């Protein structure tokens, strides 16, 4: 299964108020294993960067001045994400900006049915706990010492590790081949369909083992199974 883990950096909180996306970073995963394929780009927002936003991600007006408009990169971005599910932390925020930029270019928006929000996953798995990306990295022992400021590709790389943990941890690597799932009231049982059926091996006791067992029973005082 192909999935895209991504993050954005912006000039603010709401594209309807004139805020724009200035960076996006995407990580491709197949069966929840990073493939090494990424998409990363900076964009000229055609507006000034508020000081409070620059303090978060460090992207200044001077740095973004020579960067392309999103419209000039939109087709490459759309080609990279394909039709895969898209995973982000507080995903509705990032989807709002992506779909605003796509609509501004006259391109179809990304369907919200593709959206997977790791905040929602974390709420189910860790109710009442802190759910920031930093907090989840700490919980799962993921090194973020190199994260001095927010960065879309760096945060996507960290989120990819968090996402694997939220989905069950490293043991998901055992589920790479075709499988079906049967839900029970207690757990989810995975059944591997790729393995050939094998007849059970003979396991009946030999005559010698039966004699040894009979002798052993003679040494047991009033065994319940002999009643």
Instruction: Please list the active-site residues.
Output: 150
- On whether 57 is known to bind a ligand per the annotation, the reply is yes
186 is in an annotated binding site: no
Helix H, strand E, coil C: the string for the chain is: CEEEEEEEEECCCCHHHCCCEEEEEEEEEECCEEEEEEEEEECCCCCCCCHHHHHHHCCCHHHHCCCCCHHHHHHHHHHHHCCCCEEECCHHHHHHHHHHHHHHCCCCCCCHHHEEEHHHHHHHHCCCCCCCHHHHHHHCCCCCCCCCCCCHHHHHHHHHHHHHHHCCCHHHHHHCCCEEEEECCCCEEEEECCCCCCCCCCCCCCHHHHHHHHHHHHCCCCCHHHC
Known binding residue 155? Answer is yes
Find out whether 9 is annotated in a ligand binding site: yes
- 28 marked as part of a ligand binding site: no
Q: Please give the annotated binding residues for a divalent metal cation, written as ranges.
A: 7, 9, 155
Q: Please give the annotated binding residues, written as ranges.
A: 7, 9, 52, 57, 155
Q: Please give the annotated binding residues for substrate, written as ranges.
A: 7, 9, 52, 57, 155
């Amino acid at each position: 299964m192909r999935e895209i883990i991504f993050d954005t950096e912006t000039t603010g909180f709401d594209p309807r108020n004139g805020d724009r996306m200035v960076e996006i970073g995407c990580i491709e995963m197949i069966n929840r294993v990073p493939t090494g394929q990424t998409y990363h780009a900076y964009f000229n927002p055609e507006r000034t960067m508020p000081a409070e936003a620059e303090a978060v991600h460090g992207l200044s007006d001077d740095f973004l001045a020579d960067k392309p408009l999103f419209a000039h990169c939109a087709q490459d971005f759309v080609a990279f994400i394909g039709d895969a599910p898209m995973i982000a932390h507080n995903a509705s925020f990032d989807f709002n900006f992506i779909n605003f930029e796509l609509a501004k270019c006259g391109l179809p928006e990304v369907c919200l049915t593709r959206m997977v929000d790791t905040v929602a996953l974390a709420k189910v798995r860790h109710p009442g706990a802190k759910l920031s990306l930093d907090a989840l990295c700490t919980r799962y022992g993921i090194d973020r010492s190199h994260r001095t400021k927010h960065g879309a590709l760096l945060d996507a790389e960290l989120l990819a590790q968090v996402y694997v943990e939220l989905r069950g941890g490293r043991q998901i690597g055992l589920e790479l081949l075709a499988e079906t799932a049967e839900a029970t009231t207690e757990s989810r049982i995975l059944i591997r369909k790729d393995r050939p059926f094998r007849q059970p091996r003979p396991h009946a006791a030999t005559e010698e083992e039966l004699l040894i067992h009979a002798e052993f029973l003679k040494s047991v005082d009033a065994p319940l199974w002999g009643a």
